[in-house]
């Protein structure tokens, strides 16, 4: 069994929130729960949901969004929680999702342009290239280095981007792979986004359709597919060969630090 003992945490104003722990590793251990969480954006978190996050004992929140996204919709201030901004896609030509997605995709001019641009089915290829960039962009390597080295303090942390699916999805996939979770488990965690995030943004699809768009054209961009994560792992294999080499040579998280992460995030 690779199913987690803890997964989705349902809050009214924070989408795609779950515990990264609970997954079994190939050597029979389990990733500890209550220590690492992932989510979509936190800017709309209600007072009660902020209190819930504080109650999880979270001490650091890693914001993987672009500076433009973070400036437009900043994370809430939570007592006792340190915020760390890490612009994973600073070196990319474009960011996968604007902060005000619901408004952008209800604008008739934007919708018409999106219909024309995505009508050829290019959304999947765009996402595949974006996932390669999560592995090879200098800004991505620098950001994930800071996050994973930060996790060595062993205190509970949360990491997120806008949708909690791409920048966040790769961070979780890389982490779980390093922990020794098999590919079924890694992909199982990754694909939960389709169940947890897409329903939360149903109004985005509705607004897009009302403005004349084909909502099916959005699904490759706003959901996740195995092919996306396949592309990231293929890029890792091509550039680094193994997950350990990716952490050591790409992220500067050497063998001792990798052992430290396993010590902190795996049960005895």
Q: Which residue has the higher pLDDT, 43 or 206?
A: 43
Are residues 181 and 23 in contact, defined by beta-carbon separation less than 8 angstroms? yes
First to last CA, the chain: 18
User: Is 175's pLDDT higher than 90?
Assistant: yes
Cα 52 from chain centre: 20
Beta-carbon count within 10 A of 268 CB: 5
pLDDT of residue 183: 97
pLDDT of residue 1: 40
Out of 34-38, 42-46, 143-147, 206-210, pick the least confident.
206-210
What is the token pair recorded at 177?
């792979």
Q: Which residue has the higher pLDDT, 150 or 100?
A: 150
What is the average pLDDT across 199-208?
87
**Could you tell me the pLDDT band of residue 8, with boundaries at 50, 70 and 90?**
confident
Best CA proximity match to 163, nearest among 69, 76, 77? 69
In the chain the domains, ranked by start, together with CATH numbers, are 18-254 (3.90.190.10)
pLDDT of residue 121: 77
Best CA proximity match to 66, nearest among 40, 97, 38? 97
Q: What percent of the chain has pLDDT over 90?
A: 75
pLDDT of residue 257: 99
Helices (H) and strands (E) in the chain, counts: 13, 5
For residue range 188-202, what is the model confidence (pLDDT) as tens digits?
Answer: 999 999 999 988 888
For residue range 91-136, what is the model confidence (pLDDT) as tens digits?
Answer: 998 655 554 566 667 777 888 887 888 878 788 999 999 999 999 9
pLDDT of residue 2: 47
Q: Which residue has the higher pLDDT, 240 or 5?
A: 240
For residue range 49-81, what is the model confidence (pLDDT) as tens digits?
Answer: 999 999 999 999 999 999 999 999 999 999 999
User: Is 176's pLDDT higher than 70?
Assistant: yes
């Amino acid at each position: 069994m690779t199913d987690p003992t803890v997964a989705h945490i349902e809050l009214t104003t924070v989408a795609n929130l779950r515990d990264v722990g609970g997954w079994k590793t190939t050597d029979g251990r389990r990733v500890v729960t209550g220590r690492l969480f992932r989510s979509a954006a936190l800017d709309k978190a209600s007072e009660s949901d902020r209190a819930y996050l504080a109650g999880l004992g979270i001490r650091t929140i890693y914001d993987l969004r672009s500076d433009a996204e973070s400036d437009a919709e900043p994370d809430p201030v939570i007592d006792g929680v340190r915020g760390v901004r890490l612009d994973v896609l600073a070196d990319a030509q474009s960011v996968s999702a604007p902060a005000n997605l619901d408004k952008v995709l209800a604008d008739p001019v934007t919708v018409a342009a999106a219909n024309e641009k995505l009508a050829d089915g290019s959304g999947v290829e765009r996402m595949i290239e974006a996932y390669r960039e999560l592995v090879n962009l200098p800004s991505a390597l620098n950001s994930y280095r800071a996050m994973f080295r930060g996790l060595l303090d062993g205190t509970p942390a949360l990491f997120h981007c806008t949708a909690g699916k791409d920048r966040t999805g790769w961070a979780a996939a890389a982490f779980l792979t390093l922990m020794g979770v098999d590919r079924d488990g890694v992909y199982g965690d990754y694909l939960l986004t389709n169940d947890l995030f897409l329903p939360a943004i149903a109004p985005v699809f509705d607004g897009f359709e009302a403005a004349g768009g084909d909502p099916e054209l959005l699904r490759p961009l706003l959901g996740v597919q195995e092919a996306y994560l396949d592309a990231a792992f293929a890029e890792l294999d091509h550039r680094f060969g193994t997950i350990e080499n990716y952490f050591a040579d790409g992220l500067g998280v050497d063998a001792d630090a990798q052992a430290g992460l396993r010590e902190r995030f795996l049960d005895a």
